[in-house]
A and B are shown apart, each in its own frame.
Chain A
Amino acid sequence: MANRKIRVLLAKLGLDSHTVGITVIAGALRDAGMEVIYTGLRQTPDMVVQAAVQEDADVIGISSLSGAQMQHIPKLLDRLRSAEADDKLVVVGGVIPDEDAAELKAAGVDEVFTMGARTEDIATFIRTWWEAERR
């Protein structure tokens, strides 16, 4: 009798404090039946990795609106690898220029959702990945 839930860790890295996007996503993913673990603001890559590991999150969602994504996210991916936690889905959302998005994906981010992405599409993307993963 499996009582399985998708666990999603949502975090903001660095000093970017715009929470509108992450608020909307948190609510949408909860309404899609997922367990959303919110870390709050001002996280470092190490904090996010530790939280994701302890919470056994399937998905790490990073919201970035201040433009510092290229500073923090490659570092996060790096730390995930050294913690042997790079099997988690990493999605990034926010104000991400196309060239940054391409670079992030090349570095190991699974998907980038720019502003205006539909929350439904994000939930579907996560669920589809998870179902394939957990099969």
Chain B
Amino acid sequence: MERDPIVLAERALGGHQGAGARLIRMLEEGDEGATEGLRAVLPSAGRAHLLGVTGPPGAGKSTLVDRMAAEYRRRGSRVGIIAVDPSSPFTGGAVLGDRVRMHDHAADPGVFIRSMATRGQLGGLARATFEATTVLDAMGYDVVLIETVGVGQDEVDVADLAHTTVVVSIPGMGDDVQAIKAGILEIADLFVVNKADLPGADRVAKHIGAALHMRAAPIDAWQPPILMTEAERAGGIVDVIDGIDAHRAHLRSSGGLDRKVIRRRERVFHDVLRERAAARALACAPRQGAEILSAMRSGELDPYTAVEALLGVEA
């Protein structure tokens, strides 16, 4: 297949799924040339609503995303989905299984599903996800859903990239206080309590409500709704989509959308800066770089001095 990023970008914009997929692939691999392709699609991006869906493992995120996609399809939207799963820290491989739950869309060209492994990159995931959403956005998908497992930093990352962040909770996760993880209140635009068919769902909702009340928030700010779903039976999905639409309208009217867009740009800028600057610093003086690294490893230089030394090297 074609590997020229400009050609790929053109074809992707023309609706060719394979070209879009290949461009995403090259970007994910950190192929610097692919940035040209990204630049070429950027002007067409910016129309899609970007939705983050995060929550603990097994909360029903993929099921929920599947049902949300179905509802969006009913409403006439084209849907992009990026499902992120962890890579094995030992082998770098991964088994990506989120598509299984999205079985019903497997033959619908109006739904573009891309599975993505974290590949052990800190921050790099956010960049790859950003780039993938941008490509799908530019290809004309009206909503792009990003599913990430809410462990560690990923959920906060996704909030930086999405316009609307849906935080999924479920009953039966033990200690109620723990269930509302620190930091979650700040990023959630919508709370979904899934598996409402199981006992204890009401209690989870009540706890989230109580915690929201305790939170200091400006009067006119968005009040995240707490919605109950039974994703498996597609129960409550319409309300979720309506809630997302309401949030979107709120973002538009309050100027919040601009703030989100700026945050997204900043986030990517910093990620790319960190990634590229580090790569360049290490690459521009390979010999000295290697020496400094080995001196740092042996303890001759402390890590701080080593960084200063590396940055001090004239190319």
A and B touch in the complex (CB under 8 A): yes
Shortest beta-carbon distance from A108 to chain B in Å? 17
A30 engages B91 (CB within 8 Å) = yes
User: Total interface residues on B, using CB and 8 Å?
Assistant: 35
- In which size bucket is the chain A interface? 35 or more
B157 close to chain A: CB less than 8 A: no
| A121 is an interface residue with CB less than 8 A from chain B | no
Which residue of chain B has its CB nearest to the CB of A38?
B97
Contact residues in A for B29 (Cβ distance below 8 Å): 2-5
Chain A stretch 82-106: residues in CB contact (< 8 A) with chain B = 83-85, 87
Does residue A110 face the partner (Cβ distance < 8 Å to B)? no
Is B17 an interface position by the 8 A CB rule?
yes
Contact of A5 among B31, B106, B119, B279 (CB under 8 A): B119
Once the chains are docked, how many angstroms separate the CA of A87 from the CA of B1? 7
Does A66 have its Cβ within 8 Å of any Cβ on chain B?
no
- Check if A35 sits within 8 Å of B117, measured CB to CB: yes
Closest chain B CB from A102 CB (angstroms):
28
Q: A36, B94: Cβ atoms under 8 Å?
A: yes
* Inter-chain contact B31/A2, CB cutoff 8 Å: yes
Given A5-B117, A55-B114, are A50 and B109 neighbors across the interface (CB < 8 Å)?
Answer: yes
Asked, given contacts A40-B99, A53-B18, A56-B18, whether A3 binds B93 with beta carbons under 8 Å apart, the answer is no
- Residues of chain A touching chain B, judged by Cβ–Cβ distance below 8 Å, are 1-5, 7, 26-27, 29-40, 42-44, 46-47, 50-51, 53-56, 83-85, 87
Q: What sequence of 0s and 1s flags, for each residue 93-107 of chain B, a beta carbon within 8 Å of any chain A beta carbon?
A: 111110110010011
- B272 → A minimal CB distance (Å): 12
User: Hey, which chain B residues are within 8 Å of A43, CB to CB?
Assistant: 106
Distance, CA A55 to CA B279, complexed state (A): 28
**B88 an interface residue at 8 Å Cβ cutoff?**
yes
Query: In the complex, are the beta carbons of B103 and A42 less than 8 A apart?
Result: yes
Which of the residues B1, B17, B31 comes within 8 Å of A54, measured between beta carbons? Answer: B17
**Ordered nearest first, which 8 A-B pairs have the shortest CB separation?**
A40-B100, A30-B93, A47-B106, A56-B21, A56-B25, A33-B93, A53-B18, A36-B95
B49 within 8 A of A: no
In the assembled complex, which residues on chain B have CB atoms less than 8 Å from the CB atom of A42? Answer: 103
Additional pairs, 4, CB under 8 Å, beyond known A3-B119, A32-B93, A37-B96: A1-B30, A38-B100, A39-B99, A54-B112
* Bound: A46/B100 CA distance, A: 15
Once the chains bind, are A31 and B24 in contact (CB under 8 Å)?
no
Contact B91 A54 (CB under 8 A): no
Say whether, besides A47-B107, A53-B18, A38 and B30 are in contact (CB < 8 Å): no
Minimal beta-carbon separation of A24 from chain B (angstroms): 12
A83 vs B93: C-alpha distance in the bound complex, in angstroms? Answer: 28
Cβ distance A54 to chain B, nearest Cβ, rounded Å: 5
